[in-house]
Amino acid sequence: MILRGVNESFEVTALVAAAADGDEVAWQRLVDRYTPLVASVAHGFRLHGTDVDDVAQTVWLRLVENLRQLREPRALPMWIITTTRNECLRQVRASLRTRPFDPLTEGPVAGTTVEEPDEHLIRAARHQALLAGLAELPEHQRALLLLLIEDPPVPYAEICRRLHIKIGSIGPTRARALERLRACPQISGLSGTGSRSQREGSSGS
């Protein structure tokens, strides 16, 4: 229970403040928390392997340079998304300048379907928003949601063992995590609507 309280208090604002003061553990927690977000954005630009590593390295360097200037630490996920997109665009432009392109040989492979760009971007944006929202959750809530969506499903008994929780707390913790996730600006802003209570309040006014 003590460990859970410590994890809950280690929110993004506290991590940013500690990392800005030179706390290496806090910095590593930030990197671990947002690495999936950086990778997701990079994959949305069809980058893989060393290209993703190069983008991530630059993003973390930019973050070190700007950590103390972040006016609102809770806006860090969107800062990371924007910075990663900019670095991905530079990477793509550099690749296009150095790689020869033959339209006769580099078209779609026969028998495959070409995904519409808008559809791909929408899916990528939703995935990035989900990752950004997950990064905002307390550590124990984030860990629970990730275990609940694993494929194949993880038995409840195994979830309890890994997270050191009682089986009766899985449902309430999941409900609180989902409620907090839906309220995240990254997710509510993507759909253009607020939470259910906000919508009901506005419709009744």
Establish how many alpha carbons lie within 13 A of residue 116's alpha carbon, considering only the half-sphere containing its beta carbon: 4
Q: What is the largest CA-CA distance in the chain?
A: 63
Residue 11 pLDDT > 70:
yes
Give me the residue spans of the domains in the chain. Answer: 11-96
Which residue did the predictor score with more confidence, 96 or 170? 170
Contact status, residue 184 vs residue 133, Cβ threshold 8 Å: yes
Residue 121 pLDDT > 70:
no
Contact status, residue 48 vs residue 56, Cβ threshold 8 Å: no
Identify the pLDDT of residue 133.
79
> CATH classification of 11-96 is 3.40.50.300, yes or no?
no
Which residue did the predictor score with more confidence, 77 or 63? 63
Residue 90 pLDDT > 90:
no
Q: Which band of pLDDT confidence, cut at 50, 70 and 90, is reported for residue 118? A: low
For 127-183, the pLDDT digits (tens) are 777 777 787 788 888 889 888 888 788 899 999 999 999 999 999 999 998 888 888
For 171-200, the pLDDT digits (tens) are 999 999 888 888 877 676 555 434 343 334
Contact status, residue 78 vs residue 162, Cβ threshold 8 Å: no
CA distance 199 to 86: 34
43 contact partners, CB below 8 Å, separation of at least 6: 52, 124
Identify the pLDDT of residue 151.
78
Q: What does pTM read for this prediction?
A: 0.54
Which residue did the predictor score with more confidence, 2 or 82? 82
